[in-house]
Amino acid sequence: MPESQSAPTIQQFTVTALLFDQFDLLEVSGPLEMFGILPEHFNIQFVSQLGRPVASMQGPKLVADFSIYNSHKSDILLVPGGAGVEQAITNTLLIDWLQQQSNSANYICSVGTGAALLAQAGVLKDKAATTNKKRYRWVTGIGTDINWYPVARWVKDGRIFTSSGVSAGIDLSLAVIAQLLDEETARKTAIEAEYIWVNDPSDDPFAPLHVVS
């Protein structure tokens, strides 16, 4: 009788999205929509400082699964931006947690001004990165020894992914899917979401509109 063959192992990753007061809703929901299309590969969870529901800058709240004090190891850490970033960068407990997570997470991703939090935590030191072009000058004034890209939809430097603002986080998440699985899966995911993936990281039509150079 032929030997039975075991089913191939499915790669699985935990995605943890950080919530803080006045985060940008699309910078969380956009990337998670892409990861959520592949539930066999990605498990999504939310973390906030106190483990409580957190209001986005648009109004709706998201419910955290746990607090930063009892959080679990993440394969992928997602850090959004939003109006609350300026307050969040002064939160030493949150910044310390980001520093710790940067040592344990396999991949660290920021969307828009979320890069300011990573910069404040020292995560982007000696790394290439980008951010929301409308807030480019403010964000790039935070942290030192960072190779900021003024024209980039998203940037990958090793295990760190950063993107431009708001909808660019969707393109970043698809780039992560392509990295962890394959580009065909990323393209099929974009098609499933009826989204046109900007898979060229240098394709940044918004930088000139904000006079970034």
Does residue 120 have a pLDDT over 60? yes
pLDDT tens-digit map of 169-207: 999 999 999 999 999 999 999 999 999 999 999 999 999
User: Domain limits of the chain?
Assistant: 13-210
Identity of the amino acid at 125: K
Per cent of the chain over pLDDT 70 is 95
| Res 210: pLDDT | 87
| Res 186: pLDDT | 99
Structure tokens at 198: 């900007």
| Res 144: pLDDT | 83
Does residue 140 have a pLDDT over 90? yes
| Res 90: pLDDT | 98
**What single-letter DSSP state applies at residue 145?**
S
Locate all alpha helices (DSSP H) within the chain, ordered by sequence: 25-36, 85-88, 92-104, 114-120, 136-139, 168-180, 183-192
| Res 115: pLDDT | 99
> Which residues is 73 bridged to in the sheet?
none
CATH number for region 13-210? 3.40.50.880
Residue 28's region, left for phi above 0, alpha for psi from -120 to 50, else beta, is: alpha
**By the 8 A CB rule, do 111 and 153 touch?**
no
Instruction: State the average pLDDT over residues 61-71.
Output: 95
Cα of 139 vs its chain's centroid, Å = 16
Does residue 2 have a pLDDT over 90? no
pLDDT tens-digit map of 147-167: 999 999 999 999 999 999 999
